[in-house]
Structures are given as structure tokens and as C-alpha cells.
Amino acid sequence: MNLKRYASFGLLSGFISAIFEAIMFYSYDAASSLSPGYQFTAIGIRLLNIAGIYGELYGLLLHFLVGTVVGFFAALISFYIPHLKITSTISGLGIGILAGFLILLVFSLPVNIFLLHLYVYEKYYIPSTFFYYTMHIFYGGVWGIFLGYFSSKYNHFIK
């Protein structure tokens, strides 16, 4: 398999997964009567000291950027570990869920707790905390499915 092509599929899959994850965050905010984009606004406020709609937009853009970069690096790691190379949507789902769990533990929790001081919707409300943790595993699963799809559909480009 061609590393460059596989990594570019990982990049694209990461971006698509970040979009799906953002949709889920907005849906959760609407269902929970939270202000729309609460998570993204908090990112804009904490990192850039920008509140309101601009804080939300900057937070959302940072979310997309990070999701894309994480998808790229997860693909690189997956490529170099033979048993974790994603070649189909089925293998992508399983490996993606594992990747999402590792992303949560290694990247997201430390960044949110130590850098952003964003303690999972800040009220320690169990459903929102569970939802937040689940969304990173969801991101990984979606990332793996898309990477598996691109890898299997366009495998003649990878070889």
C-alpha cells in the first residue's frame, strides 16, 4: 500500500468524522436545552478569548482542524502497525473504535482538562459526561469506516 495515499484518505476521513461529531454535539445541545454549540463556544472563549457567535465559529473551525490532523496521524499509526491497517469498512469500524478510545485517553482528556479547563460541560452531569466520552469513540468509528471505504474502493490507487 502507498503511504501517501493512505494518509491522505486518513486526513479526509478525519475531516468527515469531525463534521459528523459536530452534528452530534449540536444535536445533543438541542436535546439537552443547552445553548447551541456550547462545546465550541467554550473552546473559542478559553483559547481565543472570543465569545458569542465568533467564539463558536472559531471553536468549530479548531474542532475541524484538530479532527483532520488527528485522522491523519491515526492513519499513519494504523499504516505502520500491520494488524491495524484498515482495508475494509468492517475492519475500519473495529480499529476506528479502538482509535477513538485511544484519542480520548491520550489527546482529548488531557487537552480539555489541562489546557482548556473544560470539564465536560462543566457541571459533571453524568449524561453529558457519558455523551462526551462516547463522541470520541464515535469519531474513531466513523473515521475507520470512511478510511476503510476509501481504502477498499480506491485500493488500485494505493498499491
Q: Is the dihedral of CA 31, 37, 42, 43 positive or negative?
A: positive
Q: What is the pLDDT of residue 16?
A: 97
Query: What are the residues whose beta carbons fall under 8 Å from the beta carbon of 63, sequence distance 6 or more?
Result: 18, 21, 22, 39, 40, 43
CA distances from 61 to 22, 41, 51 (A): 10, 11, 14
User: What angle do helix axes 3-31 and 38-48 make, rounded to 10 degrees?
Assistant: 110
The tally of domains found in the chain comes to 1
Residue with the larger pLDDT of the pair 45 and 129:
45
Q: What is the pLDDT of residue 125?
A: 61
> pLDDT tens for residues 8-63?
999 999 999 999 999 999 998 888 887 888 878 878 887 888 888 999 999 999 99
Q: What is the pLDDT of residue 118?
A: 59
Mean pLDDT of the chain, nearest integer:
85
Q: What is the pLDDT of residue 69?
A: 95
Q: What is the pLDDT of residue 158?
A: 47
> pLDDT tens for residues 79-122?
998 888 888 899 899 999 999 999 888 888 887 777 666 555 55
**Residues of the domain holding 111:** 3-158
